[in-house]
Amino acid sequence: GRLFVNRVFHISAEKMFDMLFTDSNFLRRFMHVRKITGASSTPWQREASGGMKRTLNYTITISNPLVGKFSTATENQTLYKESREGQYYMIDAEVYTHDVPYHDYFYTQNRYCIIRNSKHKCRLRIYTDVKYKKQPWGLVKSFITKNSWSGLEDYFKHLEAELLEEEAELTQGSGDA
Ligand code: YK8
């Protein structure tokens, strides 16, 4: 896998969780600029294991010329029971893109860790892996992996940049930046 984001933000852990994992203005705006449309989500629901789960459905717009312009996607998010409100959050997100070539072979697993650093700061880590449901022919596999990494890198670099902008807006004039 790859670590795409690993940085301390001047944003509390709780606020970061709300921004990324609830129906926040930040996420709505980010989806709008990424042309992610038709997003719907189940509420977070407690599992027997003690963790929480929810499922998102949306349509993504793709810029890769090898792929159709749109794909529907399903994202299953798990908030691990080891998470502690305001302190530490670990979320795994499995993303299935239903309408891309070879979609029945692979999915993407994104792991988000939000760790409290101080009252107003947190570290965000986003770790990504391309997972295979069945083994494709070697050349196909490297084709999928290569195209997935470039799309994921673009997405997470953009997310990081938007988070930095939000941080600048939030800390502006607060006097403790
Ligand atoms: C989520 C992983 C692969 C996919 C794409 C598929 C190439 C197909 C390979 C062929 C287009 C928002 C990606 C990047 C689309 C976007 C997905 C996003 C960024 C040519 C063999 C959507 C996180 C996420 C997870 C997986 C990403 C797809 O929040 O390359």
Q: Which residue in 88, 109, 107, 89 sits closest to 98, CA to CA?
A: 107
Counting atoms of ligand 1 from 1, which one is nearest the CA of 140? Answer: 21
Q: What local confidence, expressed as pLDDT, does residue 172 receive?
A: 85
Region of 129 (left: φ > 0; alpha: ψ -120 to 50; beta: rest) is beta
- Cβ(62) to ligand 1 under 6 A? yes
- Cβ(124) to ligand 1 under 6 A? no
State how far the Cα of 27 lies from the Cα of 136, in Å rounded to an integer.
34
Report pTM. 0.94
Q: Phi, psi at residue 107, to the nearest 5°?
A: -145, 175
Q: What local confidence, expressed as pLDDT, does residue 66 receive?
A: 86
- pLDDT, averaged per 10 consecutive residues of the chain (177 residues), comes to 97 97 96 98 94 97 92 98 93 98 97 97 98 94 95 97 96 66
Q: What local confidence, expressed as pLDDT, does residue 176 receive?
A: 56
- Cβ(136) to ligand 1 under 6 A? no
ipTM of the complex: 0.96
